[in-house]
Chain A
Amino acid sequence: KQEVTQIPAALSVPEGENLVLNCSFTDSAIYNLQWFRQDPGKGLTSLLLIQSSQREQTSGRLNASLDKSSGRSTLYIAASQPGDSATYLCAGGTYNTDKLIFGTGTRLQVFP
C-alpha cells in the first residue's frame, strides 16, 4: 500500500529564507506527483504537477523535483514571504488511474 510521508511536519522561518520541503513515498511505482497548498479553512490549490516523463517543474519562486528511483520529491521555495504561510501537501498518482495518495503535509509559517 502506497504511503506518502512529508518532512518536516511543521516549519517556521523568517521572511527571505530559501526552503526545501520533502516528500517520500513507499512505492516507487509513482506515475506523477503533485504539490498542493492549503490555506486554513480552505480547499487545496494545485501548485505544480510533475508528469511521469518529467523530473521537475518550475513556477515563479517554486521548483519541484521528482526522483522515482529513490521515491522522493522536493519542493523548493525561494525567497519565502509571509504570504507563503500555509500547509503544503504532496500527492502521488499511480499508472492508469486518477487516484492520488496524499502526504501528511508540512505546515509552513513565514514571519516578517
Chain B
Amino acid sequence: DARVTQTPRHKVTEMGQEVTMRCQPILGHNTVFWYRQTMMQGLELLAYFRNRAPLDDSGMPKDRFSAEMPDATLATLKIQPSEPRDSAVYFCASGLVGETQYFGPGTRLLVL
C-alpha cells in the first residue's frame, strides 16, 4: 500500500531556529505539493513541483521558506529563521498530473 511519508511527525523548536521537513512521495508520482493548515487560514498551498521542477511557490514567504526536490524520492521544506506564526501542520501530497492528490500524515510544528 503506497503512501506519502513525512518526517518528523512532530517538531517543537524555539524562535529563530532552522526547521527542515522531509517528504517521500509515492513512487512514480510526478507532482509534489506542500500545504500548511491552521485553524485560522485552513489549508493553503505553499509550493508545488512537477517532475522535480518548482512550478509555483507564490504561497510561500520567500524570505524564510524554501522548498526543494533534490531527487524524485525526496522533497524538503525549510524554514529559516522560524517564527511563532509558522506554527501549523505542514502536509506533503503527491500525485499524477490531473489526478487525485495523496496526502502524507503531516508534520505538526510548534515554534515557541
Contacts and interface: CB of A to CB of B under 8 A. Distances in A.
Contacts of A98: 31, 33, 48, 50, 55, 95, 97-98, 101
A70 interface: no
A45 interface: yes
A44 B4 CA distance: 11
B43 A89 contact: yes
Interface stretch (A61-69, A76-84, A99-107): A99-107
Nearest to B104: A43
B45 A46 contact: no
A43 B99 contact: no
Contact of A49 (B45, B97, B99): B99
Which secondary structure characterizes the binding site on chain A?
strand
B106 A32 contact: no
Chain A interface residue number, banded: 20 to 34
Contacts of B48: 98-99
Given A102-B43, A105-B42, A34 B105 contact: no
B75 to A, nearest CB: 14
A9 B64 CA distance: 33
B65 interface: no
A46 B56 contact: no
Interface string A86-101: 0001010000011111
Given A43-B103, A49-B100, A105-B42, 15 more contacts: A34-B100, A34-B101, A44-B91, A44-B93, A44-B103, A45-B103, A46-B101, A46-B102, A46-B103, A98-B33, A98-B97, A98-B98, A98-B101, A100-B45, A103-B42
Interface of A: 32, 34, 36, 42-46, 49, 51, 89, 91, 97-105
22 contacts: A36-B103, A43-B103, A43-B104, A43-B105, A43-B106, A44-B43, A44-B91, A46-B103, A49-B100, A89-B43, A97-B55, A98-B31, A98-B33, A98-B95, A98-B98, A99-B45, A99-B48, A100-B33, A101-B45, A102-B42, A102-B43, A105-B42
